[in-house]
Structure 1
Amino acid sequence: MIVDSHAHYDDEQFDTDRDEVLNSIRQQGVVRVVNPSSNLESARKCIELSEKYDILYCAVGIHPHDANEFSKNALESVRKLASFKKVVAIGEIGLDYHYNFSPPELQKECFAAHIQLALELKLPVIIHDREAHRDTLDIIRAERGYMAGGVFHCFSGSVEMAKEVLDLGFYIALGGAVTFKNAKKPVEVAGYVPLDRLLVETDSPYMAPVPYRGKRNNSGYLHEIIRKISEIRNEDFNVIAETTAKNANILFGLGL
């Protein structure tokens, strides 16, 4: 049993063969996929897809790239979308100072407001943090985001950063980067994180693992990510797969 804790099957890259891909990953042992949104349009599409495919669950929220879309009305729309049955989290939300597609101050405002919404709705959060580690943690502490709980997706920080995240009660999700030839931090983190706080993800269609790097990613490639983590930790593949699936099921309230 494998759970992909983060993939984007609402992406247009899957518009021509979505049925085929989702049927294929099911045959490869992937039983559930959490599909976060990036803005209101993708949130609506995520919900539509979750109603069509039993394997898909969704998260709703405004990604830092799209923080220019944020307003009180937009947040109210997120609140309404979160009431749909298969919405299991608020996300993905956070800060991204690598691209700065939206002004940092607006990203912070959007992030803080979504944390408050998650607390109100009693939903976990899916955190996007790129080159914004300190501000991300500061906002989580200031807004008591640790009370909502959640996961730092596609974790890119150091072991020291991972310790802070774990101390706040969050899960850490690792993806394709852990398989990259020159990966250092993800490998160190993979060996450090307690197994009961670890999730796996693909971030499909992005971040395909070796040997598929550069191709469109899909949840079937989780086998490569789990295999690499099992090598790093010197633990059985099935133990990693089943425990990370259990962790995702617990975090997102999906049942066991």
Structure 2
Amino acid sequence: MYVDSHCHLSFPELSDRIDAIRADMRAAGVDRALCICTTLEEFESVHRLATRFDNFWASAGVHPDNEGVREPTVDDLVALAALPRVVAIGETGLDYYRLNGRSVADMEWQRERFRVHIRAGRLTGRPLVIHTRSASDDTLAVLREEGGGQVGGVFHCFTETQAVARAALDLGFYISFSGILTFKTAEDLRAVARFVPLDRCLIETDSPYLAPVPFRGKTNSPAYVPFVAKQIAALKGVSIEEVARITSMNFERLFGVPARAEPDRDDLYK
């Protein structure tokens, strides 16, 4: 069975289709998912999914790209992390991809927001879900300055270089790969996936975005995470079942989620 370690089921593209999505997950052998929060305003919807369904969990955080939203404090995040089934802080990090005429120096508000999340992670012991785009040097620098290695977590939807992957691993983080790994243009990323030890890998969809081949361009779904596992299995020369088993164990270890009993999993989808 597979775990989607990062999806956005509260987003409008998916939120009205939860029953169908869960049926598709069941058919694909995907038994668990982590529902990721990107604003404080969204948290209630994300958390409701995790408390309604016993194979979903939630995070608490504000995405680095989101502007014009409620700014989180350490106290906000600590309080949300204490709620049932909240297992992570984030997604958080830095994103300099769309500066919109601003300089990197102008993005201090993003770096401060990131620091708030790391401090909340340290106080709660909840792992961090890291987003970094066109900002890897600063992402790593802030993590080091704030003691992010004491918390750990995952660099989600990884698209950076092998050097960045090595630095993240050295800090104690996991690396999560998405459907991008299956794209024809992603040979450099596939080389990174070969480098990252399987016992430090997670798999994800980041749905509704980044559907893997053969669904590229369509709305993504947690049911498609086996296609990411299939690509990793091919790169590492192991069975897809081994990738499913180890990435599921990694998910359980990182987020403190109990292992699923093997017998009848039909109850997960009632």
Q: CA deviation at 1:248?
A: 0.6
Percentage of identical aligned residues:
38
Aligned to 1:190: 193
Aligned to 1:108: 111
Q: CA deviation at 1:130?
A: 0.5
Q: Equivalents in 2 of 1:70, 1:122: separation in Å?
A: 23
- 2:25 aligned with 1:22, yes or no? no
Cα-Cα RMSD: 1.5
Q: Does the 8 Å CA contact 1:67/1:106 hold for their aligned counterparts? A: no
Query: How does 1:1-256 map onto structure 2 within 5 Å?
Result: 1-66=1-66, 68-69=68-69, 71=71, 74-100=73-99, 104-256=107-259
In the TM superposition, what whole-angstrom CA distance separates every residue of 1:3-51 from its partner, at most 9, and x where no partner exists? 1110000111113321111232023211110111100122121111111
In the TM superposition, what whole-angstrom CA distance separates every residue of 1:58-77 from its partner, at most 9, and x where no partner exists? 100111012553546x5433
In the TM superposition, what whole-angstrom CA distance separates every residue of 1:207-243 from its partner, at most 9, and x where no partner exists? 1000100000011111211111111111111001110
Q: Does the 8 Å CA contact 1:65/1:100 hold for their aligned counterparts? A: no
Q: CA deviation at 1:182?
A: 1.1
Alpha carbons of structure 1 residues 122 and 151: separation in structure 2 relative to 1, 3 Å:
same
Q: Does the 8 Å CA contact 1:44/1:81 hold for their aligned counterparts? A: no
Segments ≥4 residues shifted beyond 3 Å: 67-72, 100-103
More displaced, 95-104 or 234-243?
Answer: 95-104
Q: Equivalents in 1 of 2:69, 2:219: separation in Å?
A: 27
| TM-score of the two chains, using structure 2 as the length reference | 0.90
Q: Equivalents in 1 of 2:188, 2:34: separation in Å?
A: 25
Aligned to 2:265: none
In the TM superposition, what whole-angstrom CA distance separates every residue of 1:125-164 from its partner, at most 9, and x where no partner exists? 0000001000000000000001001000001111111111
Aligned to 2:264: none
Gaps of 5+ in 2: 260-270
Aligned residues: 255
| TM-score of the two chains, using structure 1 as the length reference | 0.95
Q: Does the 8 Å CA contact 1:68/1:106 hold for their aligned counterparts? A: no
Aligned to 2:16, what secondary structure does the other structure show? coil
Q: Equivalents in 1 of 2:8, 2:71: separation in Å?
A: 24
Aligned to 1:59, what secondary structure does the other structure show? strand
Gaps of 5+ in 1: none
More displaced, 18-27 or 41-50?
Answer: 18-27
Q: Does the 8 Å CA contact 1:5/1:200 hold for their aligned counterparts? A: yes
More displaced, 8-17 or 239-248?
Answer: 8-17
